[in-house]
Structure 1
Amino acid sequence: MDNTPFDDRKTIAGPMHATLRHDSAHKHVAGSADYIDDMPEPAGTLHGALGLTDRAHAEILAMDLSEVEATPGVICVLTARDMPHSNDISPSHLDDEPVLADGLVQFHGQPAFAVIAETRDIARRAARLAKITYRDRPHHTDITDALANGAAVVTKPLTLQRGDADAELELAPRRLKGRMRIGGQEHFYLESHIAFAIPGEDDEVTVWSSTQHPSEVQHMVGHVLGVPSNAVTVNVRRMGGGFGGKETQGNQFAVLAAVAAKKLNRAVKFRPDRDEDMTATGKRHDFLVDYDVGFDDEGRIHAVKANYAARCGYSSDLSGPVTDRALFHADSSYFYPHVTLTSQPLKTHTVSNTAYRGFGGPQGMLGGERMIEEIAYAVGKDPLEVRKLNFYGETGSGRDVTPYHQTVEDNIIRRIVAELEASSDYQARRAAIVDDNRTSRIIRKGIALTPVKFGISFTMTAFNQAGALVHVYQDGSIHLNHGGTEMGQGLYTKVAQVLADSFQVDIDRVKITATTTGKVPNTSATAASSGTDLNGMATFDAARQIKERLVAFAAERWQTTPDKISFVANHVKIGEALVPFPDFVKQAYFARVQLSAAGFYKTPKIHWDRNTGRGTPFYYYAYGASVSEVSIDTLTGEYMVDRVDVLHDVGKSLNPAIDIGQIEGGFVQGMGWLTTEELWWDAKGRLRTHAPSTYKIPLASDRPKIFNVKLAEWAENAEKTVGRSKAVGEPPFMLPISVLEALSMAVASVADYRECPRLDAPATPERVLMAVERLRAGKV
């Protein structure tokens, strides 16, 4: 019997690696997929709304809620004092994130109370009737303001160091310093945050939450209510998008719904509208990167020293690991012989920023690519040539160790880049663009090829584990439950493929049920691109246990040896006999064979010591590269993305259709971050880009006019992941760095490529136009 999930098999074919549609694709298109707000509401269901404050930093001197409470249809109003056991939901356990503000407002829009009413409309209208008296305090909302005012850090900074960067910077033949501002990003999931709580007997409560981390919601609800985790059940069937925004930010809504439900003994639902959601929940961290790089006349890096300061908001949330991961990816795909990298997670009077696809990695990588671009302009080379010169070398080359002292053992970036350079006809197109820019008066073009190297695993080692529960029923149908959550990324489909492949049955025989803490406990967040890696392996482990029992049964029943028994194409082959899978399972049931198993998996090889800045935080790396070609209007700053070519490494793809969809979606979302999605706070600390009318995500018309996406079909994970596949959720997000660099080249053409335009992100048309005018005026 073949028990390996690593796809070292040569003869057995199954659902794994097949191009299968997403299990809910037809439901998404038809609008029939059930989300929490589609669930039938029990009689008497109440609705909640947040009472938001309107100061960035202030003491609450008085809060008059009498008009709120007097509104017809209002059942009760909750404040911090109504939290039964604790008013804290800090995921970092630093006791710095109140459920409701208690005497101190720390960002504009921070919830200070919650209204529970007969209808959602009544609750929202009543919430606006509060009269709050404040004593204002000084506030700083921007990174530069925070630095100028000596702002505290929300969590301990990190330093990564190898060699002697200071000494080598002094010795380097050439040296440059610079600063880059990298903007944040709103998650803009289609389904806003929502939680629905139903009280149970005694201390029990059941919560349906749109969350990527059901076990954390379970813990937070129990913590605030003062009940053990076994009293709280959290269910998640699917989310309408998450992107990291539902890793911790759903805690507040779930907790408030549960507190109100237990207090009133009625079902309670919280669903904020888009403005409230964008105002009161965290976003991608924006960064200010200061870099100092030494290099030679060829463009080869000798030393790097960089500081990554981040706007973290008023509380720690996940800012520690986010800023850590930014440093882990500040090397991008390049070897730094001597390096010192530091993080600066700054406290600001803004909503607490949180996880977002890439989890700080994109910001770190973008800073690294800016250094390469600066060097290229300084030495007068195509940035691609400088990239190639500085790539990590092969294992044992002496150029294979990261700033955190992990050896890069699976480096395929040179092959990825070489193949894409050839297939996209990069060199000829770049030469044509340079030639065209010499004569074009208004429209200028740019092209860039950028690489991606992204580490896969949670840097919090304990999160690298997963469980799964598999039942095989008498009729041969299979039930699967695991700790991962489905947010549209196809996780359920991929894990079902793994299970169907293990038993060699059609995937239609497998049913995945809603993620629930009542079946699989202590789940990790579906994040860090590890959902399939972890849950797929846990599912395989459960199938392995059941198969071993079935093989032992068959060997005894048919008087043969285990090596004569295999699972093939909806049958079990016993010697030369083929027994249909349902018939075989029924016989096993009557022989009292256990047909259920709990599987478990923990990622091997990884360890990380944050105090020393050394370890192996990543199990493996995912690679990719993209070429982007753009056109800009030098009179207005408007631009178009004319063509994009992508070659991406997903190992041996579990499902090429889903993987390509993830790459395309990640690219467009990343392009939005780098070009159009701008967060803006006014002088009073109010987020002014808090709705679709003021915040511009990419539209269908913004997609690349030509969009060629290919998988590196020859790639295979060197590590024993499920099916030798690689993660695909986050790595593609960084591919559109090539769009920003192409825009930069187009801008640089107005000054004959003599200066690096130093475009900040997002490179909105306004910023592009200002950069053009700056270069034309000779002011860089």
Structure 2
Amino acid sequence: MRKLIPAPAPLPSDAATRHSAPHDSAVAHVTGRAIYVDDLPAHARMGYLAVGLSPHAHARLDGLTLDAVRQSPGVIDVITAADIPGRNEVGAVYPGDPLLAERELRYAGQPVFAVVATDLVSARRAVDKAVIHATPLPASLDAVEAIAQGLTVLPVHHHERATPLDRGSAMKNNTQTREAPGEAPAASHCVSGTLSIGGQEHFYLEGQIAQAEALDDDGIRILTSSQHPSEVQKLVAEVLDRPLHSIVAEVRRMGGGFGGKESQAAALGAMAALAAARNHCTVRFRLPRRDDMLMTGKRHPFETHYEVTTDDRGILRDTTISLIGNCGHSPDLSEGVVDRAMFHADNAYYLGNARVTGHRAMTHTASNTAFRGFGGPQGMMPIEAAMDDIARRLGLDPLDVRKRNLYTDQKDETHYGQRLDQHLIGPLIDQLEKQSDYRHRRQAITAFNQENPIIKRGLALTPVKFGISFTAQHLNQAGALLAIYTDGSVLINHGGTEMGQGLHTKVCQIVARVFDIPLGRVRISATRTDKVPNTSPTAASSGADLNGMAARDAALTLRARLLDLAAEQYRQPRDSLTFSDGQLIADGWSMPWEELIQAAYLKRVPLSATGFYSTPTIHYDKTTGKGHPFFYYAYGAAVSEVEIDTLTGEHRLRRVDILHDVGDSLNPAIDRGQIEGGFIQGAGWLTTEELKWDDKGTLLTTGPATYKIPAYSDAPPVFNVALLEGHPCSQATIYRSKAVGEPPFMLALSVWSALRDALSSLTNYTTSPALDVPATPERILLAVEAIKSASTPAACPEGADHG
């Protein structure tokens, strides 16, 4: 009922966002109360699944001897490819990923058969009793050789997708830069180089896992640790030869994903569902860390080559970049990964006449997949290497070379034809340069290096420009379902998944902001395919952009219904009604939120609504290599200071300063956490995380004893992170915020550049050392020795001045 009480002073319309609300599961995470799939109590008839893996990188599968497996204690079922009722295929985009191998083994670690047992130990013991009969075949283990032999992962009729991104005639006509009348042509300088970029294991805290339950109506419910529950639903349905409506995939939370659970979690869901359907029980399938690392893909290793020409000031005239992505044995998501690497080959620089070419090499290793940045980090590295090389050739500070080549309002078209609509990177770098005291520290570090023959320090400031959107246009959509209950509490369900990044918290904040109610009144339910159908993966940094907009759309629908009711019921002008601080208010009166909801229920106003959002304006033509593939760009820059020991190759990170663009932040605390975490994960990829295979193609680094992710002690003792203020997104994103999941990862390129800077000091900054990634102590030490032995610089095209 209406209450004639003084209306409270209105709160700012953005009160529910733009403040640092805690993560919705923060307390549960730190107290251990957060429930993951493997924490769930076991069902009465629970089966546990394990898989037998291929010992060969490439072989003909001649047969399996499984009698001892079937007779092993506790075994309930043994499953081979012949037992699959539907498609033996779990490829994300193109075929090539059988659930279980049939006639050919395509990598060491490929699943060949499965065992279901009464407990996990029995299942794993039974697996070891199998005999896999196979005839070894020649294996492709080198990406460069694979491309030379024409071995690619895409089907023949898709080869046109490797169309180079081309602007001008790079490296063919060095006189295309127009000089002022009467001026002599500026000198042309050339630098070139090759760079091997290693892969990276996702090393999520929660390994790959799925649990499938056979329901009494012939349906299957799958609890999955997946970034893409709709894809799990689809592939399970295809494997079981059932309609999609009989499969429900559910995700409450993941213990990390980083892209590793975007496509490759589906195989676990399908395997568990197949076992559950065959045995009419619940089956849990969790990969131990070793099997997880053997069986699943990594960040794509890349082999790259770059060649640039500049004028005397170091400004790019011509740029040619070649990128070879090591895709593993199947397509998986490699088409998009290499596309994004090509798109981001410019990073934040105007390349002049440019030609960027991408290749997708097939090797007999686990199919590499999405990883934070999705090819962007690998694509950016060659041009960052070139910036350092140009500076050493011309005797300039690398920061000055970078600043001279940044996009500006006069040079704002990328090599794929998209124009920048915000010119933030120059001012952002200027601000960070001052905040970090870059120039003074540069002088101090140069003086330090002159006085210290063994310990050398390096400093680098590198930028990031990262495009936000899925490069596959159809994925840029999201849905939501919102319900308001009669006590005024609100429940929201959307298609995004929570992997620790704070998506659910931001979506709750968005809904609370629409109604201007306390955040505690809004709750998120688990992501389920029977609530919001046909969802896109939570990836491409677009989780909050897409799902936040869909949730807002649903909330605005209900808001309009409630305002219409109030205007009619209480005879108030519709335009005078608004929500503020848990109240419906108008001139001179207010009504508590809860009473309004009760009134709406009594008047039979629907209190649930769906929401939908699709990203506008994006398009891209693969045949021409031109278009507008990104809705907007996020920017950032980092200054890193390192110290190396030239006798051992060891290094440490002394200080990091970051200034990052998140538009109008939805939640500054969560955004800062993403920036810090992304940077540290990037630094791990660049310095310590080394994947090693033997000469037969078997992965050797299969756990924390052999694979080194960053620890707390690897974080810099001085770590300054600031958000760029006063620059809301120029596009109509959710409350003018910007994505923050992936862009900060590439800020870590400053660490690698700083290591090269420290090495360059050995020759008084006259050479630019080669340093492949990861820059382990061994590689740093080899670089020191190469500098001391004065390696020969790379050759340049005829006619260019070698400096």
TM-score range, shorter chain: over 0.9
Equivalence for 1:371: 386
Q: 1:561 aligns with which of 558, 566, 573?
A: 573
Letter in 2 for 1:121: V
Q: 2:428 aligns with which of 416, 420, 423?
A: 416
Equivalence for 1:737: 749
Equivalence for 2:106: 106
- Report the Cα distance in structure 2 between the residues aligned to 1:319 and 1:546, rounded to whole angstroms: 41
Q: Does 1:58 align with 2:59?
A: yes
Equivalence for 1:331: 346
Comparing 466-475 with 151-160, greater Cα deviation is found at 151-160
Contact 1:153 1:344 in 2 (8 A): no
Per-residue deviation, residues 24-46 of structure 1 (Å, max 9, x unmatched): 11111111100011112221010
- Report the Cα distance in structure 2 between the residues aligned to 1:105 and 1:611, rounded to whole angstroms: 34
Equivalence for 1:440: 452
Matched residue of 2:327: which SS? strand
Per-residue deviation, residues 164-199 of structure 1 (Å, max 9, x unmatched): 114235878122221111110000000000000001
Contact 1:182 1:286 in 2 (8 A): yes
Matched residue of 2:319: which SS? strand
Letter in 2 for 1:235: E
Q: 1:252 aligns with which of 263, 267, 270?
A: 267
Q: Which runs of 5+ in 1 are unaligned?
A: 1-8
Equivalence for 1:5: none
Q: 1:524 aligns with which of 528, 536, 541?
A: 536
Deviation at 1:149, TM superposition (A): 4.5
Per-residue deviation, residues 691-727 of structure 1 (Å, max 9, x unmatched): 1000000011111121000101222111111111000
Matched residue of 1:129: which SS? coil
Equivalence for 1:286: 301
Q: Does 1:404 align with 2:421?
A: no
Per-residue deviation, residues 709-762 of structure 1 (Å, max 9, x unmatched): 010122211111111100000000000100001000111111221111021111
Q: Does 1:629 align with 2:632?
A: no
Q: Does 1:233 align with 2:248?
A: yes
Letter in 2 for 1:540: R
Contact 1:154 1:312 in 2 (8 A): no
Deviation at 1:114, TM superposition (A): 0.7
Deviation at 1:144, TM superposition (A): 3.4
Q: 1:467 aligns with which of 464, 475, 479?
A: 479
Deviation at 1:608, TM superposition (A): 1.2
Equivalence for 1:32: 33
Deviation at 1:158, TM superposition (A): 3.7
- Report the Cα distance in structure 1 between the residues aligned to 2:560 and 2:172, rounded to whole angstroms: 60
Q: Does 1:710 align with 2:722?
A: yes
- Report the Cα distance in structure 2 between the residues aligned to 1:257 and 1:778, rounded to whole angstroms: 57
- Report the Cα distance in structure 1 between the residues aligned to 2:153 and 2:297, rounded to whole angstroms: 17
Equivalence for 2:510: 498
Equivalence for 2:180: none
Equivalence for 1:774: 786
Q: Does 1:640 align with 2:645?
A: no
Equivalence for 2:6: none
Q: 2:623 aligns with which of 588, 592, 611?
A: 611
Equivalence for 2:550: 538
Per-residue deviation, residues 490-515 of structure 1 (Å, max 9, x unmatched): 00000100000111000100110000
Equivalence for 2:21: 20
Letter in 1 for 2:250: N
Per-residue deviation, residues 82-131 of structure 1 (Å, max 9, x unmatched): 11111011111x32110011111011111100111111111111111111
Comparing 9-18 with 36-45, greater Cα deviation is found at 9-18
Contact 1:450 1:625 in 2 (8 A): yes
Contact 1:554 1:574 in 2 (8 A): no
Q: Does 1:482 align with 2:494?
A: yes
Letter in 2 for 1:248: S
Relative to the length of structure 1, the TM-score reads 0.97
Comparing 543-552 with 134-143, greater Cα deviation is found at 134-143
Contact 2:50 2:116 in 1 (8 A): yes
Q: 1:178 aligns with which of 183, 193, 198?
A: 193
Deviation at 1:578, TM superposition (A): 1.2
Matched residue of 2:656: which SS? strand
Equivalence for 2:173: 168
Relative to the length of structure 2, the TM-score reads 0.94
Letter in 1 for 2:128: R
Letter in 1 for 2:191: L
Deviation at 1:12, TM superposition (A): 2.7
Q: Which runs of 5+ in 2 are unaligned?
A: 1-9, 177-186, 793-803
Q: Within 5 Å, which residues of 2 pair with 1:65-464?
A: 65-92=66-93, 94-147=94-147, 149-154=149-154, 156=159, 157-169=162-174, 173-394=188-409, 397=410, 399-464=411-476
Contact 1:169 1:304 in 2 (8 A): no
Contact 2:391 2:398 in 1 (8 A): yes
Contact 2:11 2:580 in 1 (8 A): no
- Report the Cα distance in structure 1 between the residues aligned to 2:331 and 2:347, rounded to whole angstroms: 26
Contact 2:11 2:581 in 1 (8 A): no
Q: In the comparison of the two structures, how many residue pairs are matched?
A: 768
Deviation at 1:10, TM superposition (A): 9.4
Structure 1 moving runs of 4+ over 6 Å? none
How big is the alpha-carbon RMSD for the aligned residues of Structure 1 and Structure 2?
A: 1.3
- Report the Cα distance in structure 1 between the residues aligned to 2:587 and 2:535, rounded to whole angstroms: 41
Matched residue of 2:595: which SS? helix
Q: What percent identity do the matched residue pairs reach?
A: 49
Contact 2:254 2:500 in 1 (8 A): yes
Contact 1:168 1:302 in 2 (8 A): no
Deviation at 1:147, TM superposition (A): 4.0
Letter in 2 for 1:607: H
Deviation at 1:619, TM superposition (A): 0.4
Comparing 298-307 with 445-454, greater Cα deviation is found at 298-307
- Report the Cα distance in structure 1 between the residues aligned to 2:218 and 2:174, rounded to whole angstroms: 62
Deviation at 1:774, TM superposition (A): 0.7
Contact 1:224 1:255 in 2 (8 A): yes
- Report the Cα distance in structure 2 between the residues aligned to 1:615 and 1:82, rounded to whole angstroms: 46
- Report the Cα distance in structure 1 between the residues aligned to 2:163 and 2:79, rounded to whole angstroms: 39
Matched residue of 2:335: which SS? helix
- Report the Cα distance in structure 2 between the residues aligned to 1:404 and 1:26, rounded to whole angstroms: 45
Deviation at 1:13, TM superposition (A): 4.4
- Report the Cα distance in structure 2 between the residues aligned to 1:703 and 1:689, rounded to whole angstroms: 23
Per-residue deviation, residues 514-564 of structure 1 (Å, max 9, x unmatched): 000010001100000000000111001001100111111001011122111
Per-residue deviation, residues 211-265 of structure 1 (Å, max 9, x unmatched): 0000000000001111111111000000000000000010111001001111110
- Report the Cα distance in structure 2 between the residues aligned to 1:231 and 1:613, rounded to whole angstroms: 41
Deviation at 1:321, TM superposition (A): 0.2
Deviation at 1:141, TM superposition (A): 1.8
Comparing 150-159 with 37-46, greater Cα deviation is found at 150-159
Deviation at 1:284, TM superposition (A): 0.2
Matched residue of 1:329: which SS? helix
Contact 2:163 2:624 in 1 (8 A): no
Per-residue deviation, residues 141-168 of structure 1 (Å, max 9, x unmatched): 2323424544334353241111111423
Matched residue of 2:173: which SS? helix
- Report the Cα distance in structure 2 between the residues aligned to 1:14 and 1:589, rounded to whole angstroms: 27
Equivalence for 2:5: none
Equivalence for 1:552: 564
TM-aligned CA distance change 1:103 to 1:170, over 3 Å: farther
Contact 1:495 1:539 in 2 (8 A): yes
Letter in 2 for 1:352: S
Contact 2:171 2:309 in 1 (8 A): no
Matched residue of 2:172: which SS? helix
Letter in 1 for 2:166: Q
- Report the Cα distance in structure 2 between the residues aligned to 1:166 and 1:104, rounded to whole angstroms: 44
Deviation at 1:771, TM superposition (A): 0.3
- Report the Cα distance in structure 2 between the residues aligned to 1:706 and 1:486, rounded to whole angstroms: 30
Letter in 1 for 2:34: A
Contact 2:13 2:513 in 1 (8 A): no
